[in-house]
Structure 1
Amino acid sequence: MKKRESTQLQRVIGYFHGTIFLFSVIIGAGIFIAPKGVLKYSSLNVGVSLSIWAACAIVSMMAALSHAELGTTFPRSGAQYCFLKRSLGPFIAFFYIWVNLFSAPAGIAARGLLLAGYIMQPFYPGCFVPEMPKKCLALAILWCLGILNARGVKEVAWFQTVSTVVKMTVLCFISITGIVLLVRGRKENLARFENAFDAEVPGASQIAEAFLQGLYAYSGWGVLVRIAGELKNPGENIPKCLITALSLVALTYLLVNISYLAVLTPKEIMSSDAVAVTWMDRVIPSMQWAISIGVSASIFSSLNCTVFSTSRILYVASQEGQLPLILSTLNIHSCPLVAVIQMLIFASIITIPSDLILLISYVGFIDWIQLGLMMMGLLKLRIQEPNLPRPYKVRLPFVFGTMAMSLFLVLTPIIKSPKMHHVYVLLFLFSGLLFYLPFVHFNLNSPYFNKITCFLQLLLNVSPGNDTDECISAEGTLQKNPPEIAAKKE
């Protein structure tokens, strides 16, 4: 890399591309697999299922607007991490990083498997896609994502714009077709909506699980806070983008679910691994390939956005000394390449299991634990530092509502119907102590770490960023080059 070349994260994303990023990451795998999970935990009750989808939209909007204060108060990439370190201390910040090291790759693996299934389904009409070819294709997709991200933010933004047009075309077609079928009033299309609430009503623990499935389809609204250091005017653009994108997504999701149920019975949805493809096979069989392409583009763009945003969190944590220094290096396209590679290696390993609904439960359960902690930190910081500059300040009822929902989704399944995977998740969370105490708290180091860092820098042609990213000082003012990072560079 040339000595005078500037390597830093650039503020190049405005309101339009910020909204596109939200569309890209939210409308991905969720709307194509979550309907199956929501129906399963709603006891195949159509009325309850649609009600949960509507409630998930309200909860997501409330949580997203509460979460937005983090990115506007700390306008740098990885704002969640900076906020938690400031409000709840370095251990909770490390806990957040520890969770993201594995939960983000788990979500990427789940979407990669789903994408591979959609691409291959037309080649196996009327039967399930074999597991081995699907997993091999999923791995190939993940590493193609790595290549795209390595090209930098401008290429990623261009790709997201094109793919968003494709996915919205597919979803609008599904929605409009469902409306047309219902307006025509055929008996078989209206059957699922007549006496929709007459089926079995699920219990509290099942409703909590159904919410986790539905909220997974809305997940990703935190992407703008993660990349706040690459946004123009984050204090204004983050709330505006969230309101625009989530309102349109909520309307789209309701219409798509109604369309699915107008064509397929709940049992048919439950037996399908690719609901949209099954839907198209019933409506226009000759166009099945088209919806596979559209859905594939949708999931791929969502995956791409997840890789892009999560790598920024690892980048910032590395700058703060809680992850290896090599993760805070950038290539000539201002991409934290090593952080991207590390995520994709973990996702490739997690691709081995293929129970998508279980993976969604893992990811959703952990995400809502994290969000609850962030709301606690937000309240604490409001009390301790009332004069901290806050360009956007969310109303407290939204914060308390988000905390209540977090407690409901995390505690209800554990209390009402505890399962082994809840124990595994909690054990995993506390296992972070085994790494925090020696490597972060006591700062144990080894000369081999420095040798590995130098070797990887030369191999991948990366270097530490110039670090012109804005950071909040202890007095609540914006400053450049935090002292602890500058010392590391020296």
Structure 2
Amino acid sequence: MQLLRVVGFIHGNMLLLSSTLGTGILFVSPKGVLKYSSLNIPVSLSIWAGCGLLNMMNALCLAELATTFPVSGALYYFLKRSFGSSVAFLCLWIQLFGHFLGIGALCLLIASNLVQLFYSGCPPPEFPKKCLALAVLWSFGILNARGIKTVTQFQTISSLMKMAVLCFISLTGIVLLVVGKKENISRFENALDAELPDASQIADAILQVNYSYLGASLLINIAGEIKSPTDTITRSVISGLSIVTLLYLLTNISYLAVLTPQEIISSDSIAVTWMDRVFPSAQWVLSLGISTSLVTSGSSGILSASRIFYCASQNGQLPVIYSMLNDHHSPVVAVILITILSSIAIIASDLIYLVKYVALGASCVNLLHMIGLLKLRYQKPDLTRPYKVWLPLIFGSIASSVFLIFLPVIQSPNIEHVYQVVFLFCGFLCYWLQAHFNGHAVCFDTITCYWQLLFNVSPSEDKIN
């Protein structure tokens, strides 16, 4: 029993597109970027383009780790190898919250968008919205329990649907700019006269755009299931993120051709507001298409998180049951854990707002990856590296992480930064408890046997050195 290497270049691109394209560009990020860009359209579009290049740079740096250690959960494994168990567990703690809160928020967004079709002109009630969100979430869980082959096939269909939605929005915007009314072009004519944002606002805008690129590291986390990881990961990152960046730029231009910056900022769903303005009689069609295309973003989140838990279990920081595989070669118990935690986030939907406290931790984790990569270059220069990233890209990634971590804290400190630090220290407390229980884990062996029989799983034969 082991994870199967079945993901090639085409399916790798489809997985990357399905995990990256989604809620950010359709609902959240455009309004946040415009707000923090002081409604300056050129600055806003420049940030979208720059963040695409920045995320490609980060992904190419992480690709060196995934090709040097081609195992699922490669980033977790590398941190444990470079900095020890405590730092690796802290990163696991951050990713645990980031994944289940993010998945829960996405499911609520999908459900809200679908239920809204039946409550025109008024907000939908919470009960049917949460019931539908739970149904969508558990469908994701069942899909992931069927193994990587089933997930890949499903994600390929979803990627094509997402690209179709964004291409439709982009092409319509281009047509309106070419043959449309003067008001469609007027917003761009005096765009350079707008106020310029300060450095702190630019950092906040970059964080908003980075939300739209959260799935860029999916291929790194499933490196143990990719065929020819050296070629597949690097080529998929370059081609996939290039397509994503281009689509994001064209989509934002289309939004601005139809809506004013003030209308974008006040909208809860930019894509639906855009559709209501351009094709008001067919608004429900796009709402249904958007909700359907968002479905697999949640599936990608469960896929990525389950592989991190799988690796952590193999390294002794989670119970061994999370690294056991079912007949479909899926770590089904890890999938169930993530699904249950995401269900809690949906039921107690106020927890969704805790997602913002994970942002600082995510930037810290990326900084640790880059420092660890430099440390590995220095300590083991003769280590076999099938792919070696250009050194200035590593320093560029470090500089961007330091900028995003420290500039908002220095320029505009507030109570949220204290909460973020407390959240990180809670991770160290849980690490101490985990280490204590691991020292007295004999009593859990019988429980593990019962769970193994209940879920029909077997220990994995994957070896991590």
Instruction: Give the structure 1 partner of residue 462 of structure 2.
Output: 468
Q: How does 1:4-403 map to 2 (within 5 A)?
A: 7-32=1-26, 33-351=28-346, 352-353=348-349, 361-403=356-398
Q: Is the 8 A contact 2:49 2:249 kept in 1?
A: yes
Quote the Cα distance in structure 1 between the aligned partners of 2:432 and 2:146: 36
Q: Runs of at least 4 residues of structure 1 off by over 4 A?
A: none
Task: Name the % identity.
Answer: 56
Q: Is the 8 A contact 2:86 2:431 kept in 1?
A: yes
Quote the Cα distance in structure 2 between the aligned partners of 1:58 and 1:83: 24
Structure 2 residue identity aligned to 1:327: Y
TM-score w.r.t. length of structure 1: 0.90
Q: CA 1:39–1:286 in 2, change beyond 3 Å: closer, same or farther? A: same
Quote the Cα distance in structure 2 between the aligned partners of 1:17 and 1:218: 18
Deviation for aligned residue 1:36:
1.8
Q: Is the 8 A contact 1:205 1:412 kept in 2?
A: yes
String of CA shifts for 1:210-265, please: whole Å, max 9, x gaps.
Answer: 11110111221111110011000101111100000011111100000111111112
Quote the Cα distance in structure 1 between the aligned partners of 2:43 and 2:122: 30
SS in structure 1 of the partner of residue 438 of structure 2? coil
Structure 2 residue identity aligned to 1:119: L
Instruction: Give the structure 1 partner of residue 422 of structure 2.
Output: 427
Quote the Cα distance in structure 2 between the aligned partners of 1:430 and 1:363: 13
Deviation for aligned residue 1:27:
0.5
Instruction: Give the structure 2 partner of residue 3 of structure 1.
Output: none
Quote the Cα distance in structure 1 between the aligned partners of 2:354 and 2:238: 28
Quote the Cα distance in structure 2 between the aligned partners of 1:451 and 1:77: 28
Q: Is the 8 A contact 1:213 1:361 kept in 2?
A: no
Q: Is the 8 A contact 1:330 1:463 kept in 2?
A: yes
String of CA shifts for 1:339-393, please: whole Å, max 9, x gaps.
Answer: 111112222222333597x556334332211111000000000000111111110
String of CA shifts for 1:262-298, please: whole Å, max 9, x gaps.
Answer: 1112222222222111111111122222212221232
SS in structure 1 of the partner of residue 106 of structure 2? helix
SS in structure 1 of the partner of residue 349 of structure 2? coil
Give 1 or 2: higher helix fraction.
2
Quote the Cα distance in structure 2 between the aligned partners of 1:80 and 1:448: 31
Q: Give the unaligned 5+ runs of structure 1.
A: 1-6, 474-490
Q: Is the 8 A contact 2:324 2:458 kept in 1?
A: yes
Q: CA 1:109–1:43 in 2, change beyond 3 Å: closer, same or farther? A: farther
Q: Is the 8 A contact 1:107 1:359 kept in 2?
A: no
Q: Is the 8 A contact 1:236 1:391 kept in 2?
A: no
Q: Is the 8 A contact 1:216 1:364 kept in 2?
A: no
Q: How many residues are paired up?
A: 463
SS in structure 2 of the partner of residue 386 of structure 1? coil
Structure 2 residue identity aligned to 1:275: I
Q: Give the unaligned 5+ runs of structure 2.
A: none
Quote the Cα distance in structure 2 between the aligned partners of 1:313 and 1:368: 18
Quote the Cα distance in structure 2 between the aligned partners of 1:85 and 1:293: 43
Quote the Cα distance in structure 1 between the aligned partners of 2:436 and 2:384: 30
Quote the Cα distance in structure 1 between the aligned partners of 2:252 and 2:297: 19
Instruction: Give the structure 1 partner of residue 434 of structure 2.
Output: 439
Quote the Cα distance in structure 2 between the aligned partners of 1:109 and 1:209: 23
Q: Is the 8 A contact 2:100 2:342 kept in 1?
A: yes
Quote the Cα distance in structure 1 between the aligned partners of 2:133 and 2:403: 34
Quote the Cα distance in structure 2 between the aligned partners of 1:129 and 1:70: 45
Which has the larger displacement, 279-288 or 234-243?
Answer: 279-288
Deviation for aligned residue 1:179:
0.2
String of CA shifts for 1:156-196, please: whole Å, max 9, x gaps.
Answer: 11101111111111111000000000111412212321222
Quote the Cα distance in structure 1 between the aligned partners of 2:77 and 2:278: 49
Which has the larger displacement, 433-442 or 249-258?
Answer: 433-442
Q: Is the 8 A contact 2:97 2:358 kept in 1?
A: no
Alignment RMSD: 1.8
Structure 1 residue identity aligned to 2:5: R
Quote the Cα distance in structure 1 between the aligned partners of 2:60 and 2:267: 35
Structure 2 residue identity aligned to 1:251: L
Q: Is the 8 A contact 1:25 1:301 kept in 2?
A: yes
Which has the larger displacement, 121-130 or 10-19?
Answer: 121-130
Q: Is the 8 A contact 1:179 1:259 kept in 2?
A: yes
Quote the Cα distance in structure 2 between the aligned partners of 1:289 and 1:468: 47
Deviation for aligned residue 1:447:
4.7
Structure 1 residue identity aligned to 2:211: Y
Quote the Cα distance in structure 1 between the aligned partners of 2:79 and 2:92: 10
Quote the Cα distance in structure 2 between the aligned partners of 1:197 and 1:138: 43
Q: CA 1:35–1:20 in 2, change beyond 3 Å: closer, same or farther? A: same
Which has the larger displacement, 148-157 or 40-49?
Answer: 40-49
Structure 2 residue identity aligned to 1:29: T
Quote the Cα distance in structure 1 between the aligned partners of 2:128 and 2:47: 35
Structure 1 residue identity aligned to 2:8: G
